[in-house]
Amino acid sequence: MKKISIVIPVYNEKNTIREILRRVEAVELNFSASGGPAEGWEKEIILIDDFSTDGTREILSALGGPAMGGGNTDQNYKVFFQEKNMGKGRAVKKGFEEARGDIVLIQDADLEYDPNDYPGLIQPIVDGRADAVYGSRFLKDSSSKIVYKHGYLFSRALSWFSNILSGLKLSDIYTCYKVFSKEAVGKIAGDIKSSRFGIDPELTALIAKNKFRILEVPIRYKGRTYEEGKKINWKDGLAAIWHIIRFNLFH
């Protein structure tokens, strides 16, 4: 049976982690390649806790994982615990290294993104039309709730700047939903250098450097406020400019 690895970086998400896992589990994944019969895909759910301090670690430990260090849980979950807070980039790298699926998808642990979008994100890779797929919050068919207008404008500007340096034409490089073929992950996992939110421009730069075929598809998005737990801030926004320059010109 074909397998999709769902990599979920987690940091202080005790209020949402159970619900996002329920939603991920509920999605049925049946795909038909080259006009053949539809087949069900197995899910490998990989959770990397980035040293949460709000009780999230205890929730994840209850899935069957060890209290520290990382390892296997039940048949659906692999849970790993970072020994200190290392950032989303390091968590994604760890997830890529542990993934054994034919396709690898990144899922945030909050509720901003809808796992019901998985079929549309995965199908282009199953069809052999893409090596990577981004789910865009900004394409015309997207159903998105943008909470902060300044964040929306800055994200669009950063995507435009990234396009200039990478040579790609993407509307949303900071989307959570990034999906890769197994082969693509194998080529880039060892090159990831990012710790925090530099992971988004870095993955985009690696796609360009490796000349991967990339597509964007519209997705649903429901932004949350800082009071609800949103973590990225203006400092990360300013750092993003350097990350885009660094990973496209000096990686």
CA geometry: angle at 134 spanning 133 and 138, to 5°? 145
113 DSSP assignment: B
Q: Domain 3-249: which topology?
A: Spore Coat Polysaccharide Biosynthesis Protein SpsA; Chain A (3.90.550)
Tens-digit pLDDT profile for residues 99-154: 999 999 999 999 999 999 999 999 999 999 999 999 999 997 766 666 445 667 88
Tens-digit pLDDT profile for residues 18-68: 999 999 999 999 998 766 778 899 999 999 999 999 999 999 998 854 433
Question: How far is 141 from 8, CA to CA, in rounded Å?
Answer: 26
Decide if 25 contacts 43 (C-beta within 8 A).
yes
Neighbours of 35 (CB within 10 A): 6
Of the pLDDT bands very low, low, confident and very high (cuts 50, 70, 90), residue 233 is low
Strand partners, 31: 39
Domain assignments of the chain as residue spans, ordered by start: 3-249
- How many CA atoms does the CB half-sphere of 61 hold within 13 Å? 12
What per-residue confidence (pLDDT) applies to 92? 98
- Report CA-CA distances (Å) from 170 to 107, 142, 208: 19, 14, 11
What are 21's two structure tokens?
């896992």
What per-residue confidence (pLDDT) applies to 73? 46
Q: What is the mean pLDDT of the chain?
A: 89
What per-residue confidence (pLDDT) applies to 126? 96
Question: How far is 5 from 11, CA to CA, in rounded Å?
Answer: 19
Which of residues 162 and 75 earns the better pLDDT score?
162
What per-residue confidence (pLDDT) applies to 38? 83
What per-residue confidence (pLDDT) applies to 153? 85
Q: What is the CA radius of gyration of the chain?
A: 17
